A and B are shown apart, each in its own frame.
Chain A
Amino acid sequence: MSNQIERFQDPGLPEHVHRNADVDPKAEKRAERQVAVLFLLSAVGTVLTIASYIFIKSDKYTYLPVMGSTNIQQLFLGIGLTASTLFIGLGAIQWAKKLMPDQEVIAERHEFRSEESDREDFVATLKEYGGSAGLGRRSLIKRSMGVALGLVGLSPLVLLRDTGPLPKKFFETNSWAAGTKLLLDPSGTPIKASDLEVGAVAQVLPELPAGTERTLENTGKDAVLLIRLRPEDFNLDAERLSWTHEGIIAFSKICTHMGCAVALYEQQTHHLLCPCHQSTFDVTRAAKVIFGPAARPLPQLAITVDADGYLVAKQPFTVPVGPSFWERNSSNG
């Protein structure tokens, strides 16, 4: 008894099977017609596109199941453009598959590694010509070439400077200062503490000095959320508690993770949620991060009231608002 394993025989390549269209003239005619119909459908699509652009009014709507009330012109433009491009592709594929020459070409894979003799030849050549070119001897050339090649990559790096002005102190500064009035966004009216009931929130922006225009860039740093809680719900240290006013606490709305506007306030759990990455902040503990990717609590704005009873900032933010940046001074948190 031989315990040799029976070797699996290479079955070779399967026999070439001719397509119907190659052997049957009727099938060839049919395939030809199919391709022609596909191309003609594309032509119809183009005509439909142009006709619906010209003849359908752009303010007409129709009700379609699933889609709802839909603009008729846009619908037919879409159908027409889809048909005009899709059917060219489908026709070309059908043509290639059924009618174009059906030759099978076989390319065998070869080893990735070169033949041993070729490798030896290469090393010998390198040694011979490398030696005679004096690569080993002419160190001045070698070093200067090194300097040139090393420096050539620097110029694109320097040109990167053209991508925009340096931010300078932009990220560290915002419009809040001691005594800045809190104004409702978007109406711009100042707020009194009595305007907020327990469980109420207000979106506020700082009052800007006269003559300063409110830009989107600044709003992106200045936006603040006011929340009123029962004072006994707070779990703050003495300093942070002194930053609140009669249960009203103010936080920067700009998430410390990626800068989204954090304003999903759940008034029963006192959680503030960021809609982008679900960072969750506990309002009762000075916006401590309790879930999600944010690394720091939301900066708290110290607030108080002025002589007229309007809410004002007691002092500017003690830390830069918003996400981390390269030069950020994180010594205060």
Chain B
Amino acid sequence: MKRISSFRRHRIAGPILVVAALFTIGTAFVAASALPSAQSTMTTGTSTLVSEGKAIFLRGCSSCHGLHAEGGSIAPSLIGVGSASVDFQVGTGRMPMADMSQQAMQKKPVYNAQETAALAAYVSSLAPGPSSVTNESLTYERDGNSALGGQLFRTNCAMCHNFAGQGGALTNGKYAPSLMGVEPKYIYEAMVTGPQSMPKFTDATITPQEKLSIIKWLQAANHEQNQGGASLGRVGPVTEGLLGWVLGLGLLIGAAAWLAMKAK
């Protein structure tokens, strides 16, 4: 006691006291504010997120999909499509559509990640459906088998998306998009939900592990290097033929013209 009281007159006693006081007040404030903030995150996780999502839905989606997401003459019902469908359609910018063309195209997303999550929470609160996934939850590097993935891809996907995942044409201006550079979670969600023209691939017909294999194969195809020469888009004989006919024959015609020209 004696020593402390003698210490209080030391010249660094003042600054130490101030720092200690600030630390105590700060810790107490953080501790006091932590409780309500934790509560508010929880509510955002459920009802607040849903009501936020409903507000965004009424503003941005209801003119086509209906006030209760029941669908209309120009847009399908969203009851039961699940958060996976919302995450795919809104996260890749396909929804909201830019115009009523044949197909909703991928573009810069209109809503940010949080708004997308809110919309997804609202739509999945209407009726249960496939849940959205994150890139981190897809452990395709560990659990996937790219050889099996390639086999599955050629059986189930290649007819529309091309044998190298480059995409291809469907009827009346619709098309299957290229899968190069697409985030794994969007590939997964597309298989589960079957967006637009694409059919669904349920977990019973292609198991979640097989889906990871397909993603692993696509990642490998994405980083496939050119073994010799240009890839020419990897769409098969079409570009090869075009180049052969236009460039190859053009060169031959040029050579023939040069051959027949009179030398000076």
Chain A contact residues, CB within 8 Å of chain B: 17, 19-21, 61, 66-71, 74-75, 77-78, 93, 97-98, 184-187, 191-192, 194-197, 199-203, 227, 261, 263-269, 271, 273, 275, 278, 280, 291
- CB atoms of B171 and A191 under 8 A apart: no
Would A273 and B170 be within 8 Å (CB), given that A200-B202, A268-B197 are in contact? Answer: yes
B14 at the interface (CB under 8 A from A): no
- CB atoms of B228 and A78 under 8 A apart: yes
- CB atoms of A74 and B171 under 8 A apart: no
Identify the closest chain A residue to B232 (Cβ). A67
Of B160, B205, B258, the contact of A191 (CB 8 Å cutoff):
B205
- CB atoms of A264 and B263 under 8 A apart: no
Interface string of B186-201 (1 = CB under 8 A from A): 0000000010111111
- CB atoms of B210 and A187 under 8 A apart: yes
- CB atoms of B171 and A269 under 8 A apart: yes
**What is the CB-to-nearest-CB distance from B48 to chain A, in angstroms, rounded to a whole number?**
31
Q: How large is the interface on B (under 10, 10 to 19, 20 to 34, 35 or more residues)?
A: 35 or more
Identify the closest chain B residue to A187 (Cβ). B210
B96 at the interface (CB under 8 A from A): no
- CB atoms of A199 and B200 under 8 A apart: yes
- In Å, the complex CA distance between A68 and B234 comes to 12
Would A61 and B202 be within 8 Å (CB), given that A187-B210, A263-B159 are in contact? Answer: no
Interface string of B223-238 (1 = CB under 8 A from A): 0011111110000000
**What is the CB-to-nearest-CB distance from A289 to chain B, in angstroms, rounded to a whole number?**
13
- In Å, the complex CA distance between A77 and B99 comes to 50
Chain B contact residues, CB within 8 Å of chain A: 148, 151-152, 155-156, 159-160, 168, 170-171, 174, 176, 194, 196-202, 204-205, 207, 210, 225-231, 255, 258-259, 261-264
Of B148, B170, B199, B226, the contact of A201 (CB 8 Å cutoff):
B199
- CB atoms of B200 and A200 under 8 A apart: yes
- In Å, the complex CA distance between A185 and B194 comes to 19
- CB atoms of B204 and A196 under 8 A apart: yes
Please report whether the interface of chain A is mostly helix, strand, loop or mixed according to DSSP.
mixed
- CB atoms of B264 and A269 under 8 A apart: no
- CB atoms of B205 and A266 under 8 A apart: no
**What is the CB-to-nearest-CB distance from A260 to chain B, in angstroms, rounded to a whole number?**
9
**What is the CB-to-nearest-CB distance from B148 to chain A, in angstroms, rounded to a whole number?**
8
A69-B226, A187-B207, A199-B194 given. 13 additional CB < 8 A pairs?
A21-B263, A69-B225, A78-B229, A98-B263, A199-B199, A199-B200, A200-B199, A200-B200, A201-B156, A264-B170, A267-B199, A273-B171, A278-B171
**What is the CB-to-nearest-CB distance from B165 to chain A, in angstroms, rounded to a whole number?**
15
Would A93 and B259 be within 8 Å (CB), given that A70-B225, A71-B228, A269-B197 are in contact? Answer: yes
- CB atoms of A200 and B201 under 8 A apart: yes
**Which residues of chain B are near A291, meaning CB under 8 Å?**
171
Of A17, A71, A200, A275, the contact of B205 (CB 8 Å cutoff):
A200
29 contacts between A and B (CB under 8 A): A17-B262, A19-B264, A66-B230, A67-B231, A69-B225, A71-B225, A71-B228, A74-B227, A93-B258, A185-B155, A186-B151, A186-B152, A187-B207, A196-B205, A199-B194, A199-B199, A200-B199, A200-B201, A200-B205, A201-B200, A203-B156, A266-B171, A266-B174, A266-B197, A268-B197, A273-B171, A275-B160, A275-B168, A291-B171
Of A70, A77, A203, A261, the contact of B226 (CB 8 Å cutoff):
A70
- CB atoms of A261 and B159 under 8 A apart: yes
- In Å, the complex CA distance between A69 and B207 comes to 34
**Which residues of chain B are near A74, meaning CB under 8 Å?**
227-229
Identify the closest chain A residue to B154 (Cβ). A186
Would A197 and B202 be within 8 Å (CB), given that A20-B264, A71-B225, A266-B170 are in contact? Answer: yes
Would A267 and B194 be within 8 Å (CB), given that A19-B264, A191-B205, A275-B159 are in contact? Answer: yes
**Which residues of chain A are near B197, meaning CB under 8 Å?**
266-269
Identify the closest chain A residue to B201 (Cβ). A200
**What is the CB-to-nearest-CB distance from A330 to chain B, in angstroms, rounded to a whole number?**
27
**Which residues of chain B are near A269, meaning CB under 8 Å?**
171, 197
- CB atoms of A195 and B226 under 8 A apart: no
- CB atoms of A203 and B155 under 8 A apart: yes
- CB atoms of A264 and B151 under 8 A apart: no
- In Å, the complex CA distance between A78 and B230 comes to 12
**Which residues of chain A are near B148, meaning CB under 8 Å?**
186
**Which residues of chain B are near A199, meaning CB under 8 Å?**
194, 199-200
